[in-house]
Structure 1
Amino acid sequence: MSKKKLKKKRTLNYADVIVSFLVISIIGLIIIPLPAIALDILIVINLAVAINILLITLFTRSVLEFTTFPTLLLITTMFKLGLNMSSTRLILTAGNGGNVIAAFANVVAGSNYIVGIILFVIIMVVQLVVVTNGAGRVSEVSARFTLDAMPGKQMAIDSDLNSGLINEEQARNRRKDLQREADFYGSMDGASKFVKGDAIASIMITLINLIAGTIIFTMKGDLSIADALAQFGKLSIGDGLVSAIPSLLISIASGIIVTRSDNNSSFGLDIASDAVRYPVLFRIVGVILLVLSIVPGFPFLPFLFIGIGMFVASMFIKQTEQKTAIRRKEEEQKLALKRKKKEQEEDESVSSFQVEPIAIEIGYGLISLVDSTVDNSLMSRIVAIRKQTARELGILVHPVRIRDNLYLESNDYSIKIRGNEVGAGQIYADKLMIISPDDEPFPFKGIPTKEPAFGIDAMWIDQKDKEAAEIQGFTIIEPLTVIATHLKEIIFGNAPELLGRQEVQKLLEGIKEQNNVVIDELIPEILRLGEVEKVLQNLLEEKIPINDLATILETLADYGSVTKDTEVLTEYVRQALRRTIAAKYADEQKSIKVVTIHPKVEELITQSIQKTATGSYPVLKPDSVNQILEALNKIQQELTLKNIEFVVLTSPKIRLAFRKLISFNFPNMSILSLNEVPNEISIETVGTINV
């Protein structure tokens, strides 16, 4: 561990010790009598802490930046009550509350303690009725809405993860933040009761100081009733004010933090942005004030000056907006010129009239989604998908070409591979797609549709219905996520077509520094580059990642001198990658549920395999094929109803032939051979194919 980390760890340990000591010391305030000077210092500290907490809430951009606030609210409340008890002890025993209490009583109440009582009561009413009740209600509603919306937000996180927009760590952090947000609002719902109880206790303590002090010092004969009421009236009000003002500040802070929405800016910047959004409002207010300035009985100068000030502010805001708009337009023109120049350069190259490996064509209504100047654009999503494809499948996907197509409808898009359309859909840039988790009907006025990647029933709704959809548990998907998920599924489903000799050569060059010996031995002495390409395509055809190129090349080097049959070589490679393959289908108990093939059926398929120029195929009678397919379909339906995921397990000699036999009817069914299941993985048979 580095010195910097050790130092940071020691600092955190010291912080824990200091905080623990301070919390325990609060109890000491109740038990141990304090001198007047110590009480003055602690009262000032209490006021400083309250001001600091209020300022922190003004500068926080999200409640997640101040999740300790509910606990801090309890600690500050107990600290203030401890100070109340210490000041009460000092007032009732010595008839003196210290310099700070006396200063508040003299400055705020003056010579009339009745005025001080009225001010104290007003502060308590504002705190209890206005601030604390409002903050408590907001906390309660926010907690309920946050908990109700958690399932929808969790699904949105899973959707972003599946589309490649975020990685596993980012998804984990978002789930953690979501839980912290729910915990915060739940804690604030209860913590607001501390403030209300604190205000009630302050009123009672103030009354005790006034009544008990007057009785004690009158009975002792030190003061007359009138003098005692005057002295303890001022002391009680001073003590009440030094506790009420920090309490009010913290109540305001709690109200601010629970009413804040998650933004990327502080409260001050949000207020400034909202206030100057419509400068015409300043002129309207200015006109109203100028009219009021000439109304008989109203003071002329204040209304006149402030009205003129509103006009000046409106003009200043308008000029600033015009300058910003001009600057933005100039930047857009520069970007357009650069883009046009780049397109002209591309048009002059041979590649300009060649089809791209993969491309997206969009209608004119979706052009705003491709704005590269925006952080969250289709371009950034595609970059994330390419990275995810490289990480999960091990292939390098070409940059995806995006262009507008005037022949498409405004909200349509088309995904093409080598110039041929392989997927299409329709999205609305200003709407949101919702999917029902339980196939329930949609209680919204929207546009019924199908989710293009998986064909699930969905609906496009307006942005204003988002919150209602979240509360009702619908999965909400943004337009960019819809097209990004579709693109990802297209890439994963057509990965073999996207892997050519050029891409294989780049993969080999990328690992040559660490695996130069096996590459030099394999290509071209044992196998040609095209033969290696065919093996990799065969693996991708069955969704087997090729990111363990070292093992693949080692296996090809071992068996490539024995056979040049790429199908046989692929089976050897699959056996070498058995742990990678089995891990895709094994559960947490390291077990795979399999459907086996009856020996009679295996023997039938074995005898029917015929070798052709394009590979090995089983040649069976139509009746036999139909019986096998019907048996497999029956087993699949039974296991699907039981929610059991399975693979078909065969002997190595018929695995490939059986896959070709059922691939048309069951394209997504996984077929493994016994040699592809490592010893540490257990096998659980859930069915047998028999005819």
Structure 2
Amino acid sequence: MKGIGKAAVPIGVVSIVLMLVVPLPAALLDLLLGLNITASLLILLVAMQIKKPLDFAVFPSLLLVATLFRLSLNVSSTRLVLTDGYAGKVIEAFGHFVIGGSLVVGLVIFLILTIVQFVVITNGAGRVAEVGARFTLDAMPGKQMAIDADLNAGLINEAQARKRRHEVTAEADFYGSMDGASKFVKGDAIAGIIVTLVNLIGGFAIGVMQRSMEPGEAVSTFSLLTVGDGLVSMIPALLMSTATGIIVTRSATEGDMGTDLLAQLGRFKQPVRIAGGAAIAMCLIPGLPKLPFLVIGAGFLIVATRMSETPEVDEDAEAAAAAGDDEPTPDSPEAIVEKMRVDPLELEVAFDLVDLVDPARGGDLLDRVKALRRKVAMDTGLVIPLVRTRDNLDLPGSQYVIWLNGVPAAKGISPAGTILAIGDNLDGLPGKATREPVFGLAAKWVPVELQRQAEMAGATVVDRSSVITTHLAEVVRQNAADLLGREDVRLLVEMVRRTHPVVVEELTPTLLTLGEVQRVLHALLEEGVSIRDLVRIFEALSVRAKTSADLDGLVEAARAALGSAISHPYVTPDERLHVFTLDPGFEQRLLESIRQSDAGMVLALDAAGIDALVNGCSGLLEDAERSGLSPVLVCSPQVRAALARLMRQVLPRLPVISYAEVSRTAQIESLGVVSGAVAIR
């Protein structure tokens, strides 16, 4: 069917164009006129059955083709009428039987149909299409923002968001097309009037001047056929105009027009009863026929008695009552279990910070927290759970607390009516001195009115919501591994399965269980490695797991697969990677001291060796940080796992990478060498 339609539509359009210049026999014209009327009726019925305008999105183009088809039939019928004085049985029937063979009656009917189509339906539909197109285009940004908000909140996935955006764009395109297509209907009505007038004059002139007919005979032969031709064309045009009006005035509902009409008109019996009584009361007016009004009034009253009135439903009250019925009692097991549930991530705010989370008061903290989930996912590959935000009256004023798995992970303050100015030269500004919660920089809470003065003093100004959001983001990044649950791993695996099913089928559950995959991803996140490239990680795990399921070996295999992507975050904008290295002799000593334990590979060094390692790295790191640099410690792959495990305990801000993970494009700049005795600068 699809292939037939693909070929039939272009052929049909070309045939319509040919009809404008190629004469048609009367029998074929009868067939095409019948097709025109039937197709217009079909389009009208389809327009009444759709639930929303986009269900008939092809209508603007179809309207153009139907209009062109109707005009081509006008040209063909005009050619037959003026040349042969006969244009088939259809036009002859409309010219003699429908209007009774009277030219005056035909012209009056034609004029009435033209007024109905042109003045009433076409103008109204054109205006509605114009307003609908304008309002739809104006509403597009808001609809797009609502879709983005739902996506950031996790209420819909990327595929659903893409579908909704497509629907919004398609709706705007449709109403824009309908605004232009309504001009086809208006132009068709004008063309029908002009063609009929021209044919009347031309037919009369041909009959009298060329064929030497009497005026009456010329009118009977040509003018009646011309009016019949106009009526034949006007009826499909009227049907199409009506379909256009129905399409542009149709709002999205759950049912078709007939269902909605009966449901909404028959919702209340009182108006039907009053209408029936009013019809019967019309019988009291002298001179009016009583039987028609009695029949109509009685019919309405009978219908009213059979109607079951639908009571008006308060949806808000009904929803509240349903929620109350579903809510368990305070002492029920369900309520106790709900209270026991520990949320992975919570944000508690004091009573005077509620304005930050209340959209009605201009608060945008919730929107920023939703956007944070997307940013963290892009940076770390971890989709963090929804952040439960609530107020706590027991908290001191201006304070907020970030909870991680039921335990306070961080806290801070955000005084109302202030902004955070970060900088060193803040002595001239009034306010409360503090420390920026993420990097520990010197800062001061100053009144909002002094924002301009703080900026002129060279301070970096941050609003209250940004302070909380930045603090929350840092807590999430530092504890990303603890937020990765078994269910989260399952969702990540299913995500990879949709695009790379073979990779997942080879890895789990054949080689590794879901729990073992979770341990590997947990270890990567614990060292600050993004797990966004799950395909390469899973492929490396599949190869390694065939020989050993040792955790450290699996982690190192995954890191080797990621390669320079691990060191890329530490590369400066000018493509430099600042590194510390180990003295070869000291590195060999570390390699020989590696022992396997329940926690993985560890360094079994004596106290002196540990002190030399830690003090050497600490001294070099402090020197680098004073220069504003963020270095990494580079070592051989065999030592890296054990050394990184030690550094996470004593010097967590120093990343440890292997030589295989060093960026291939960055320029390596050594900041020192750590030996067993002292750091060599």
Which TM bucket (shorter chain)?
A: 0.5 to 0.7
Aligned to 2:17: 27
Q: For residue 218 of structure 1, what is the amino acid of its counterpart?
A: V
Matched, 1:161 2:151: yes
| Number of positions where the alignment pairs a residue of Structure 1 with one of Structure 2 | 544
Give the drift of 1:91.
Answer: 1.2
Cα distance in structure 2, aligned partners of 1:123 and 1:163: 55
1:258 aligned residue: 248
**Alignment-derived partner of residue 526 in structure 2:** 538
Counterpart of 1:551 (choices 540, 544, 548) is 540
The equivalent position to 2:482 in structure 1, one of 491, 497, 504, is 497
Displacement of 1:49:
1.1
Letter aligned with residue 137 of structure 2: L
1:214 maps to which residue?
204
Query: Using the alignment, how far apart are the partners of 1:285 and 1:419 within structure 2?
Result: 66
Per the TM alignment, residue 354 of structure 1 is displaced from its structure 2 partner at its CA by 6.3
Deviation at 1:100, TM superposition (A): 0.9
User: 1:660, CA displacement in angstroms?
Assistant: 10
Alignment partner, residue 190 of structure 1: 180
Could you say what secondary structure the match of 2:213 adopts? coil
Cα pair 1:650 1:674 within 8 Å, conserved? no
**Taking structure 1 as reference, are residues 41 and 492 closer, same or farther at Cα in structure 2, changes over 3 Å only?**
farther
* Secondary structure class of the residue paired with 1:173: helix
Query: What is aligned with 2:466?
Result: none
Q: Is the 8 A contact 1:617 1:660 kept in 2?
A: no
* Residues in 2 aligned to 1:300 and 1:489: alpha-carbon distance in whole angstroms: 85
Identity of aligned residues (%): 36
> In the superposition, relative to structure 1, how do residues 611 and 210 fare at CA in structure 2: closer, same or farther (>3 Å)?
farther
Which residue of structure 2 aligns with residue 91 of structure 1?
81
Are 2:2 and 1:17 aligned?
Answer: no
- What SS does the aligned partner of 1:577 have? helix
Aligned to 1:205: 195
Contact 1:597 1:650 in 2 (8 A): no
**Which digits, 9 at most, give the CA deviation of each residue in 1:21-41, with x for residues without a partner?**
222222332223222222111
Unaligned runs of 5+ in 2: 349-369, 395-400, 412-471, 498-503, 587-607, 672-681
AA at the equivalent of 2:540: T
Task: Give the aligned residue type for 1:166.
Answer: I
Could you say which residue in structure 1 is the equivalent of 2:561? 576
Q: 1:515 to 1:122 in 2, by over 3 A?
A: closer
- The 3 A distance-change label for structure 1 pair 420 and 309 is farther
Deviations 1:106-144 (A, max 9, x none): 343224221210111121122222222222233233333
| TM superposition score normalised by structure 1 | 0.60
1:645 — aligned with what? none
Bigger Cα Rg: 2
- The code of the aligned residue for 2:7 comes to V
Q: Which residue number in structure 2 is paired with residue 438 of structure 1?
A: none
Matched, 1:179 2:169: yes
Equivalent residues of 2:479, 2:526 under 8 A apart: no
Are positions 1:52 and 2:42 aligned together?
yes
Asked if 2 retains the 8 angstrom alpha-carbon contact of 1:610 and 1:619, the reply is no
Cα distance between partner residues in 2 of 1:490 and 1:100: 82
1:17 Cα offset (Å): 2.6
Quote the Cα distance in structure 1 between the aligned partners of 2:49 and 2:382.
Answer: 45
The amino acid across from 2:561 in the alignment is A
Deviations 1:117-172 (A, max 9, x none): 01111211222222222222332333333333333333333333333333333333
Task: Tell me the TM-score normalized by structure 2.
Answer: 0.61
Q: Does 1:225 align with 2:210?
A: no
Task: Return 5+ residue gaps in structure 1 as ranges.
Answer: 1-10, 362-381, 409-413, 425-486, 524-528, 587-591, 633-647
Q: Displacement of 1:200 after TM fit?
A: 2.0
Q: Which residue of 2 aligns with 1:246?
A: 236
Q: Does 1:170 align with 2:160?
A: yes
* Partner in structure 2 of residue 474 of structure 1: none
**Paired amino acid for 2:562:** L
Name 1:102's counterpart in structure 2. 92
The residue matched to 1:110 in structure 2 has which SS? coil
Change (3 A) 1:251 1:661: farther
Following superposition of structure 1 onto structure 2, how do residues 469-618 of structure 1 map, counting pairs within 5 Å? Answer: 495-499=480-484, 514=507, 519=512, 535-538=523-526, 543-545=530-532, 547=534, 548-549=537-538, 551-552=540-541, 573-578=558-563, 594=573
Please tell me the residue identity of whatever aligns with 2:207: F
* Alpha-carbon shift at residue 19 of structure 1 (Å): 2.1
Counterpart CA distance in 2 for 1:505 and 1:232 is 81
Which residue type is aligned with residue 526 of structure 2? N
Q: For the Cα contact (< 8 Å) 2:121–2:245, is it kept in 1?
A: yes
- The CA distance in 1 between the partners of 2:11 and 2:538, in whole Å, is 59
Measure how far apart 1:499 and its partner are.
3.9
Letter in 2 for 1:190: G
**Cα drift, residue 249 of structure 1:** 0.9
Please tell me whether the aligned partners of residues 140 and 189 of structure 1 are also in contact (alpha carbons under 8 angstroms).
yes
CA-CA distance at 1:214 after TM superposition: 1.9
Q: How large is the Cα RMSD of the aligned pairs? A: 6.1
2:95 alignment partner, SS class: helix
1:46 Cα deviation from its structure 2 partner: 0.7
